[in-house]
Each structure stands twice: as C-alpha cells, then as structure tokens.
Amino acid sequence: MSNPFDEVSGHFVVLMNKEGQYSLWPAWIDIPAGWNVQYGEDSKINCLEYINTHWKDLAPRHLQKVKEISYEN
C-alpha cells in the first residue's frame, strides 16, 4: 500500500486541533480524536493553499500566549 499522503490526485480535508495547528488529511481516512475539519473535501493543492493562507504562526496556541506576554513586558 502506498502512503495516502503522497497521493496527488486524491481528495483531502484540512484539520485543526485545539492548539490551532493544521494538518492535511486524506478525506477517506477517519479523523483522529482531537482534530476537526476546517476545510474540504477538496484537492490536495487547494487544501495546501488553505493551510498556507490561514496558518500564520506555527507555534501552538499555548506558546503564542507566552510569546504575547513576554512581548508586553
């Protein structure tokens, strides 16, 4: 079996967890616990474009808050 994440012509969804982190996910695979669909079902390229447009800070939310506090001081 080939890696489903390597499939160029497959259908994907964009997931996000409570920390605001995104994941590209094959649409036909069950969504893991703790993740919610944010976009899709769509082509891989459109899902990656969505992620690139919306995911501005790669740090998890709890670390973003720490960064905000340290910048204020």
- Structure confidence by residue, pLDDT tens digits, 28-61: 999 999 999 999 899 999 999 999 999 887 666 7
The confidence score (pLDDT) of residue 45 equals 95
The rounded distance, in Å, linking the Cα atoms of 39 and 36 is 9
* Confidence at residue 62, expressed as pLDDT on a 0 to 100 scale: 73
Reduced to 3 states, what is the DSSP secondary structure of residue 2?
coil
Q: Is the dihedral of CA 12, 16, 17, 22 positive or negative?
A: positive
Asked if 51 contacts 43 with a C-beta cutoff of 8 angstroms, the reply is no
Contact 11, 41 (CB under 8 A): yes
- Which secondary-structure segment (H or E) carries 67? helix 61-72
Provide the pLDDT for residue 65.
63
| Position 11 pLDDT exceeds 60 | yes
